[in-house]
């Protein structure tokens, strides 16, 4: 029998983990690897575990019975457990090398990545700590790799040895009703049983740790699946079976429902074209969500009271003959669903919106020049406006979310807002570094590509102000502010002939390309002024969409080459800013009416 090697992770902690009786020692990755049949790929099995001593030990025993001719190593990452897992693992005899790594709790993705970093074999097989392996599991995965696969997923029915009760029974029914069907989607990828070539795992960058740490739980497998399925041969093998020993208790299940929201919101922001599919899989289109959970989620305190009652009732019921009662199961499931939709509402994502508020800023600085001051918002006030928007339930969306919204039926949060900045003043780079990036706010900067300063303002006597260089624009893009076009010269395009309009639209693309910048997706007309010819020139140049300055929210049916934006001026503070951003069309109507009355009565 091979020995067990223990490694205390120095990446997460410098102190011994609270596991008694272990002589800690460092081991080189792959040390003690077993020799197997070279005709079969060698496999490193990586199992992350947290507070599941008995279950993970049983999982290891089932792995020990694996019928596989190739080399095997087992890497178990104890992710902050304090239940004696390491001691228990040390007592298990296994026919292949076991390495146990102990680290501070960092989440399942971090634990899997840590185990993968230590793997030495051709293929990494990720298994959850509750997976009881069929003896042929590794052979089935290995067979697919002999046939050229890049990654393999299998089947994970609920283990008959799971604690009796409605929780395991409900999961078993759900698993049976959601069989994997081709073609595979990212939502079919399940880290409970997933193998991938080690070289490919390294190339794809591993799992996103943000999706399984802090308040988030889940979707790291679908996120990895997006990259995996993009250009690689991923197979589903129905004969690769591991049985899930379902031991999740009611309170943990309920907590996972709320933590899933944080992960889903991150996933939707990262992959907006998959957001609708994600939420439809959660049942957002079902009548019960619209007519029951949606109104109940608005009632203060009520959802948390129901969830607490459901947990206590479930815990009590599972200790009695009512453990499999379907009414109890429905009540508990409904309470957890209500907790999920309530948390999604609090996150700003429920219900979805079909409109977007796009704000147009120019300079963010204190400005003394009277010709420029009108369009300059001091940085402190700008920060206050960001706080005000967040406090009022607005969610800042990314340019890619916006692009996906106008291209498809992708959902957006309940009150979405997109920030845009015109002209490309040099102070924008500091704004992005110091204010926007720390808040994880992205946006679009519309750049005048054929000028080094504000020449269009200087013609009227304004002071010169530097615009960003190409190097600064590259950094701006890295900070999450997408570089787009504001024409070449900032001229009024509705006054130009066709050739001049073409030069402004297409020429700015060439200017940015010469500077080593990506092709711009968006265009903003200088002064918001446009006509049919200008819109046609922008369309022919290949832009995805273009913005004017109609003071209203953008809707799905808006003309994509004359999208509205709401301009924010220096005078827009306090109630004016709140009114302008709450109801821009109504606010604009009020301003026009006041001007008309002022001209009538002098």
Q: The domain that contains 131 carries what CATH number?
A: 3.90.550.10
Report, as an integer, the average pLDDT of 539-565: 95
- Pick the more confident residue, 331 or 179: 331
- Do both 341 and 359 map to the same domain? no
The pTM (predicted TM-score) of the whole model is: 0.89
Asked if residue 363 belongs to a domain, the reply is: yes
Asked if residue 559 belongs to a domain, the reply is: yes
Asked if residue 265 belongs to a domain, the reply is: no
- Do both 50 and 196 map to the same domain? yes
Asked if residue 268 belongs to a domain, the reply is: no
Report, as an integer, the average pLDDT of 596-601: 65
Report, as an integer, the average pLDDT of 110-126: 97
Banded pLDDT at 36 (limits 50, 70, 90): confident
Distance CA 194, CA 341 (A): 29
Asked if residue 572 belongs to a domain, the reply is: yes
Report, as an integer, the average pLDDT of 569-597: 88
First-to-last alpha carbon distance for the chain, in angstroms, is 98
Distance CA 141, CA 1 (A): 24
- Do both 314 and 383 map to the same domain? no
Distance CA 214, CA 425 (A): 37
Gyration radius from the chain CA atoms? 29
Banded pLDDT at 17 (limits 50, 70, 90): very low
Worst-scoring range by mean pLDDT, 75-84, 140-149, 180-189, 266-275?
180-189
- Do both 384 and 342 map to the same domain? no
Report, as an integer, the average pLDDT of 299-324: 96
| pLDDT for the residue numbered 30 | 42
Does 106 score more than 60 pLDDT?
yes
- Do both 475 and 335 map to the same domain? no
- Do both 366 and 396 map to the same domain? yes
Element (H, E) at 234: strand 234-244
- Do both 305 and 212 map to the same domain? no
- Do both 493 and 386 map to the same domain? yes
Number of alpha carbons in the 13 Å side-chain half-sphere of residue 334: 14
Does 331 score more than 60 pLDDT?
yes
Asked if residue 258 belongs to a domain, the reply is: no
In which residue are the tokens 């704000």 written?
359
- Do both 244 and 303 map to the same domain? no
Q: The domain that contains 497 carries what CATH number?
A: 3.20.20.370
- Do both 374 and 438 map to the same domain? yes
Report residue 232 as tokens.
């690689």
Tens of pLDDT, residue by residue over 482-522, are: 999 999 999 999 999 999 999 999 999 999 999 999 999 99
- Do both 483 and 462 map to the same domain? yes
| pLDDT for the residue numbered 25 | 30
Asked if residue 269 belongs to a domain, the reply is: no
List residues bridging with 43 in a β-sheet: 72, 123
Number of domains in the chain: 3
As separate numbers, helices (DSSP H) first and strands (DSSP E) second, the chain gives: 23, 18
Of the chain, the percentage scoring pLDDT greater than 70 comes to 93
Phi, psi (5° rounding) for residue 523? -135, 145
Report, as an integer, the average pLDDT of 552-570: 94
Banded pLDDT at 70 (limits 50, 70, 90): very high
Distance CA 382, CA 597 (A): 31
Does 222 score more than 70 pLDDT?
yes
Does 361 score more than 80 pLDDT?
yes
Report, as an integer, the average pLDDT of 44-73: 97
Distance CA 29, CA 192 (A): 23
Does 283 score more than 70 pLDDT?
yes
Distance CA 195, CA 121 (A): 12
- DSSP class of residue 435? I
Q: Given 208, 232, 248, which residue is the final one in a domain?
A: 248
Q: Given 197, 214, 248, which residue is the final one in a domain?
A: 248
Tens of pLDDT, residue by residue over 179-218, are: 888 799 999 999 999 999 999 999 999 999 999 988 999 9
Q: Given 248, 282, 298, which residue is the final one in a domain?
A: 248
Report, as an integer, the average pLDDT of 356-366: 97
- Do both 210 and 278 map to the same domain? no
Q: Which residues contact 293 (CB under 8 A, 6 or more apart)?
A: 337, 338, 341, 342
Q: Which domain holds residue 328?
A: 274-346
Report, as an integer, the average pLDDT of 257-276: 95
Asked if residue 184 belongs to a domain, the reply is: yes
Report, as an integer, the average pLDDT of 285-296: 96
């Amino acid at each position: 029998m091979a020995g067990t090697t223990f490694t205390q992770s120095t990446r997460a902690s410098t102190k011994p983990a609270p596991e008694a009786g272990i002589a800690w020692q460092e081991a080189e990755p792959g040390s003690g690897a077993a020799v197997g049949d070279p005709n079969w790929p060698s496999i490193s099995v990586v199992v992350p575990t947290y507070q599941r001593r008995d279950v993970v030990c049983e999982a290891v025993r089932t792995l020990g019975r694996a019928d596989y001719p190739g080399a095997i190593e087992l890497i178990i990452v104890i992710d902050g457990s304090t239940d004696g897992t390491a001691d228990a693992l040390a007592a298990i005899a296994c026919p292949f090398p076991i390495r146990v790594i102990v680290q501070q709790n960092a989440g399942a993705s971090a634990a899997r990545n840590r185990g993968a970093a230590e793997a030495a074999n051709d293929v990494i097989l990720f298994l959850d700590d509750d997976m009881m392996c069929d003896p042929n599991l590794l052979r089935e995965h290995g067979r697919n790799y002999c046939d050229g696969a890049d990654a393999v997923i299998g089947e994970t029915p609920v283990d008959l040895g799971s604690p009796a009760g409605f929780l395991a029974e409900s999961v078993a029914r759900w698993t049976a009703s959601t069989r994997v069907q081709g073609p595979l989607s990212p939502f079919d990828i399940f880290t409970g049983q997933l193998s991938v070539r080690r070289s490919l795992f390294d190339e794809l960058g591993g799992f996103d740790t943000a999706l399984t740490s802090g308040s988030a739980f889940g979707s790291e497998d679908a996120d990895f699946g997006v990259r995996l399925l993009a250009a690689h041969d991923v197979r589903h093998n129905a004969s690769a079976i591991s049985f899930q020993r379902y031991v999740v208790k009611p309170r943990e299940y309920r907590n996972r429902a709320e933590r899933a929201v944080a992960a889903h919101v991150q996933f939707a922001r990262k992959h907006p074209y998959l957001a609708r599919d994600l939420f439809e899989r959660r049942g957002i289109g079902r009548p019960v969500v619209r007519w029951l959970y949606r109104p109940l989620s608005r009632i203060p305190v009520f959802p948390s009271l129901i969830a607490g009652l459901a947990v206590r009732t479930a815990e009590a019921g599972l200790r009695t003959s009512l453990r499999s009662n379907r009414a109890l199961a429905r009540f508990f499931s409904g309470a957890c669903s209500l907790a999920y939709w309530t948390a999604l509402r609090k996150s700003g994502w429920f219900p979805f919106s079909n409109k977007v508020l796009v704000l147009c800023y120019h300079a963010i600085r204190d400005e003394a020049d009277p010709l420029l001051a009108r369009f300059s918002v001091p940085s402190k006030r700008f920060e206050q406006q960001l706080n005000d928007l967040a406090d009022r339930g607005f969610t800042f969306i990314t340019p890619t979310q916006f692009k996906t919204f106008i291209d498809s039926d992708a959902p957006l949060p309940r009150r979405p807002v997109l920030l845009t900045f015109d002209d490309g003043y040099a102070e924008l780079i500091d704004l992005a570094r110091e204010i926007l990036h720390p808040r994880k706010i992205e946006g679009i900067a519309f750049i005048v590509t054929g000028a080094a300063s504000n020449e269009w303002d200087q013609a009227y006597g304004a002071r010169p102000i530097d615009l960003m260089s190409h190097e600064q624009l590259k950094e701006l893009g890295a900070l999450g502010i997408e570089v787009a076009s504001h024409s070449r010269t900032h001229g009024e395009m509705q006054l130009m002939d066709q050739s001049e309009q073409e030069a402004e639209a297409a020429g700015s693309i060439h200017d940015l390309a010469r500077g080593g910048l990506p092709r711009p997706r968006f265009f903003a007309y200088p002064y918001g002024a446009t006509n049919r010819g200008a819109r046609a020139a922008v369309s022919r140049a290949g832009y995805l969409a273009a913005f004017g300055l109609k003071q209203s929210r953008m809707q799905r049916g808006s003309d994509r080459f004359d999208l509205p934006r709401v301009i924010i001026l220096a005078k827009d503070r306090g109630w004016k800013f709140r009114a302008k951003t709450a109801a821009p069309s109504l606010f604009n109507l009020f301003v026009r009416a006041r001007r008309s009355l002022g001209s009538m009565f002098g």
